[in-house]
Copies of this chain bind each other. A is one copy, B any other.
Amino acid sequence: MTVRGAPAIGASAAFGMALAAQNSDAASVDALIDDLRRAGDLLKAARPTAVNLAWAVDKLQDIADSGEFSSPDDLREILLAAAQQIADDDIRINSRMGALGAGLIADGATVLHHCNTGALATVDYGTALGVIRAAFEAGKDFHVLLDETRPRLQGSRLSAWELEQLGVSYDIIPDTAAGYYMQQGEVSIILVGADRVAANGDFANKIGTYQLAVMAQAHKIPFYTVAPTSTIDLSLSSGEQIPIELRDPAEVTTPYGNPIVPAHFKALNPAFDITPHRYLSGIVTENGIARAPYVESLRRAVAGEQV
C-alpha cells in the first residue's frame, strides 16, 4: 500500500522490473532474464486485484524474452526505457480519457466520486478524477461529492487534497450519505475508477463501488468507470474470476494507528468488490467511451481501435 491506484501500481511495477535488472549482477543475458523472472513473480504477488501490476510485469518480461540483446547492459537500458515509456504513456492516456470523459459532466452538475483516482493514483492527472479535472480545466461549473471511502479514507485524505489543490468545488461525505444525496436528486453522475475490467465489462474497484452502482440504477443516475485499456483483462470472461484482496481488519478497527475500538473487536475488510457490467452506462478508455455490449467494444478498445 506504499503505492496505490491501479495505474500507479502498473508504472511502479515496470520500474520495479527495470530496477531488478539494474540491481542484478548477472553476467549474461540469460542469467539476467532468470533474475527478471524471479523479480516479476515477487512483484506480482504484492497485490492480487489490480491487473496493471501483472500487465506491466508481463510487458517488460516479454521484451526480455523476445528481443535480441548484445549484452546484459543493453537489456538493462531497454527495460528502463520501456518502464519510462509506460509512465509517459500513462500521463498521455489519462489526459486523453479526461478529454473524452469531460463531455459527460454538464454545467451545473454534481458528480459523485469514490476512493481516489487522481494524480496520486496514477503517474499523473488521474482517471475518474482526471475526467473531473479536465472538465474543470475546460471551464465547466460543477460540484463534486467525495465519498470518504472507509476504511482507508482515500476520498477524504487524497481526493479532497487534490481538489483543494485544483480549486474544484467539493464536499466530503460519509459513505453512508451517498444514497441520501441520490434520493435528494443532488447527484447527476457517478464516476469511479477500476482495478480490473473483465472482457464482459464487469469490473473490480474499491469496496463500496458495487453499492453505488446498485443505487445509481435505482435512481436512474448515469454510472461510469474510467479505465485505461491497461486495466482491461480480456483473459477473464467475467468479474467472478477477479480475485478480491482481503486486507487486515486492523485497517477498520485502528485506522492509521488511531484505535476506534478495542483491539480484540472483530472486523472484516474486503478491499474491493465486483460491479456487474449491467450497472454501467459506459467505460471511458483512452480509445473512446466503450458501451454495451462490452465484449465487443472492449475487445476493439484493447486492440487500439476507436470505440
Contact = CB atoms under 8 A, between A and B. Distances in A.
Contact of A273 (B147, B161, B179): B179
A179 B256 contact: no
A138 interface: no
Contact of A177 (B172, B260, B270): B270
Interface string A140-179: 0000010111110100110011001000001111111111
Contacts of A172: 249, 252-253, 261, 265-268
A177 B214 contact: no
Contact of A208 (B170, B177, B261): B177
Q: Which bucket holds chain A's interface residue count?
A: 35 or more
B267 A171 contact: yes
A256 B183 CA distance: 28
A208 B215 CA distance: 12
A210 interface: yes
B268 A177 contact: yes
A176 B273 CA distance: 10
Interface string A197-240: 00000000011101100110110000000000000000000000
Nearest to A211: B179
Main secondary structure of the interface of A (DSSP, over half): mixed
Contact of A210 (B151, B156, B180): B180
Interface string A261-302: 100011111100110000000000000000000000000000
A249 B252 CA distance: 21
A49 to B, nearest CB: 13
A258 interface: yes
Closest 9 pairs between A and B when the two form their complex, measured CB to CB: A179-B211, A176-B208, A172-B267, A150-B174, A180-B273, A175-B175, A171-B268, A176-B207, A258-B258
11 contacts: A147-B176, A153-B260, A156-B265, A156-B267, A160-B266, A172-B268, A173-B267, A177-B273, A183-B210, A214-B214, A218-B218
